[in-house]
Structure 1
Amino acid sequence: MSAKKKKQITNLANGRPPVFNKPKSFSRKATKAIINKHHLLQKRKRQALKKGDKEEEARIDKEIEALGGLQKYQEASLQGQRHDRGGDSSRVLMEWLKSVLSPEKAGPSQRLRMLEVGALSTENACSKSGFFDIERIDLNSQSQGIKQQDFMKRPLPKDQSEMFDIISLSLVLNYVPEAKERGEMLRRTTQFLFPPGRHYPTPELAANFPSLFLVLPAPCVTNSRYLDDDRLEAIMGSLGYVKVCFKQSKRLVYYLWRRGQVPEESKARFPKKEIRPGSTRNNFAVILD
């Protein structure tokens, strides 16, 4: 592995794998084993980097290569994403919005601007709906119509022409490797959405936009030592978000958060704090300074 790749990266690219058009097929069990082992090795490598332990870093690199290297992990990761997604997660969003975006209430001239972070396809339910003008970005785009870009490095909007009515973060936040970076990603979404109070042609649209569509693996919220639905809602509330819709499936949790005014008294900090002890819990957390 080159010296460039050994540098510590503090952005989404450190966690989320790129997309391949034709990944090798893995069983669910094999997929989980490959992903879990690779994530463990990457965690150990980040610890070695922080300590400046070059020997340990080299040993971990050899273990990663013995597993088949980055390519096999990337293939397994995409396969795992497909298992976890259970298909197109944007179908849930469209189900929530189907009455709001019906032709009787929002004609073709009222297309909304969407930023889809971590886009995998240009053919999902939102794309086919005809209600959105979509800008799609991903860390490693393999498709035309998806711009290769790290959301955390995207230039901030210069004016409202570069802002959006809705941002989609579907199975993106969970790939950010550090809890503090997850908090910063959530905070950053507010900078790309139109300001609260934006005029919309119908009350139904105003009740749902501008907004953030957030999808996470269910255990991130249902089985974490450091995060549950109440704490996530408190974190989002401190950023001015109001929960509009929620759905939980066996593997995923889906949220629609409308951007509102940040409470004037909101100076709450959300450190890593155990709220649900237990040996079987995971360590997923969101830190917001």
Structure 2
Amino acid sequence: MGTKKKAPLRVKSLTAGRPPMARPPKSISRKATKRLINSHHQLEKRRLQAVARNDKAAETAIAADIEALGGLARYQQASLQGQHHERGGDSSRVLMQWLGIDDNSKATASQPAAEKPSSLTSAPLRMLEVGALSINNACSASGCFRMERIDLNSQGPGITQQDFLQRPKPQSDSERFDIISLSLVLNYVPQHKDRGEMLLRCLNFLHEPGMVSADDTKASSTPATDDDIQKYFPSVFMVLPEPCVANSRYLTEEHLTDMMSVLGFDLLESKASQRLVYYLWVRKRPAPSFIPRFPKKELRSGSTRNNFSIVLQGT
């Protein structure tokens, strides 16, 4: 009786003995994203109002409601979801288009490579990105800027956890920036006076008009001699939800322009989409010795208006 041959040993896949990998969080629908962000904004506003009243019970209850929504981390996940290309993409791409550079540091179709701002890819321009959610946006990928990123709740390496309103003021020009990005930041600041304070603080952190970062990072600053550099910097890139400007009782584009003009900025570029408005404000004049007060004042009436406002306390 012949010996029975053994069945060949079946080699299992290396993955067979591994535990299942963690799955990435499910994508949030556009409707759910908008609802979560709006709810978070409203609750945070009510929480700060309770703090101002010294109402500890209300503050605790509202904080619990915010945590029930997933807290700041969930809010940021929704904001990151909004940056996906299918949701309209990264807002800094608009800035890159204004500068004549696309996501890959190439010229745009309307501006050939020979005509794009030649100094942008070689100059040591510094950008402070306030409210940064990612280190992979268009500005970071362009190679035009030495990036510094801050956010109230850092999402990982490359983003410093810091409140811009609490950031120590620069001690020298080497600590100042050529451009500050406030993309969907002002609308998240709950108090209208703090929004104005944020704009005022930009004057401290930007170079003076006509000056840009020096080649030597230890040097103070240098005059902007290139026409393209001089045209665009120093500046503030601002993005707001469209209703904040188009449908507010207390803020219109004209009112915002007047406010920025008082601070020494001229509007160089603007764009409006269905959901967002984009602005590039270039610093043209030094900080004024006197700043008039811009109070919360009704500019448009109507029951369907929202209450977004920016208040400058003045000097």
TM-score (norm 1): 0.82
**One of 29, 34, 49 as aligned partner of 2:36:** 34
1:246 aligns with 270
Confirm or deny that 1:201 pairs with 2:225: yes
Q: Deviations over 1:25-63 (max 9, x none)?
A: 322222333333343333333333333333434443454
Higher helix share: 1
Q: Using CA pairs below 8 Å that are at least 6 residues apart, which structure has the higher relative contact order?
A: 1
- Matches of 1:264 and 1:37, distance apart in 2: 38
* Equivalent of residue 268 in structure 1, options 292, 305, 310: 292
1:86 pairs, out of 82, 88, 99, with 88
Looking at structure 2, the residues matched to 59 and 205 of structure 1 have their Cα atoms a distance apart, in angstroms, of 50
Q: CA deviation at 1:163?
A: 0.9
Please, which moves more after superposition, 108-117 or 232-241? 108-117
Cα separation, 2, equivalents of 1:110 and 1:74: 32
Does residue 226 (structure 1) correspond to residue 239 (structure 2)? The answer is no
Q: Relative to structure 2, which stretch is displaced further, 227-236 or 26-35? A: 26-35
Deviation at 1:157, TM superposition (A): 1.0
CA RMSD of aligned residues (A): 2.8
CA contact (8 A) 1:115 1:164 kept: yes
User: Does 1:44 pair with 2:46?
Assistant: yes
The CA distance in 1 between the partners of 2:69 and 2:293, in whole Å, is 40
Where does structure 1 lack aligned partners over 5 or more consecutive residues? 1-21
Match of 1:160 in 2: 173
Fraction of identical pairs, as percent: 58
In structure 2, the residue matched to 1:171 is: 184
| Distance change (3 Å), C-alpha of 1:84 and 1:118 | farther
What residue is the counterpart of 2:105 in the other structure?
none
Q: Counterpart amino acid of 2:226?
A: T
Paired residues, number = 269
Among candidates 113, 118, 128, match of residue 126 of structure 2: 113
* Shift in CA distance, 267/151, structure 1 to aligned 2, threshold 3 Å: closer
CA contact (8 A) 2:192 2:309 kept: yes
Per the alignment, residue 128 of structure 1 pairs with 141
Question: How many Å apart are 1:68 and its aligned residue?
Answer: 5.5
Greater CA drift, 143-152 or 187-196: 143-152
Q: 1:208 to 1:119 in 2, by over 3 A?
A: same
Q: Which one has a bigger Cα radius of gyration?
A: 2
Contact 2:262 2:288 in 1 (8 A): no
Q: For residues 99-151 of structure 1, what are the alpha-carbon distances to aligned partners after superposition, in whole Å with 9 as ceiling and x for unaligned? A: 69966731754231111111122222112222211111122222222222211
Moved more, 51-60 or 210-219: 51-60
TM-score (norm 2): 0.76
Contact 2:117–2:228 under 8 Å retained in 1: no
CA distance in 1, matches of 2:120, 2:253: 35
Higher alpha-carbon deviation: 98-107 or 39-48: 98-107
Aligned partners of 2:205 and 2:226: how far apart in 1?
Answer: 22
SS of 1:110's partner is coil
Q: Measure how far apart 1:216 and its partner are.
A: 0.8
SS in 2 for 1:207: helix
Question: Contact 1:211–1:256 at 8 Å: present in 2 too?
Answer: yes
User: 54-63 or 120-129: which moved more?
Assistant: 54-63
Greater shift in the superposed pair: 207-216 or 110-119: 110-119
Measure, in 2, the Cα distance between the counterparts of 1:104 and 1:278: 45
**C-alpha distance in structure 2 between counterparts of 1:60 and 1:148, whole Å:** 24
Aligned to 1:188: 201
SS at 1:205 equivalent: helix
Deviations 1:167-186 (A, max 9, x none): 11111111100100000000
Which amino acid letter does the alignment assign opposite residue 50 of structure 1?
A: A
Q: C-alpha displacement at 1:288, in angstroms?
A: 0.3
Alignment deviations for residues 227-271 of structure 1 (CA, whole Å, 9 cap, x no partner): 010000011011101111001111111111111214858532100
> Residue 267 of structure 2 contacts residue 282 of structure 2 at CA under 8 Å; is this kept in 1?
yes
Greater Cα offset, 128-137 or 186-195? 128-137
Q: Indicate if the aligned counterparts of 1:226 and 1:272 stay in contact, CA closer than 8 A.
A: yes
CA offsets 1:192-213 (integer angstroms, 9 cap, x no match): 1111122223122212111111
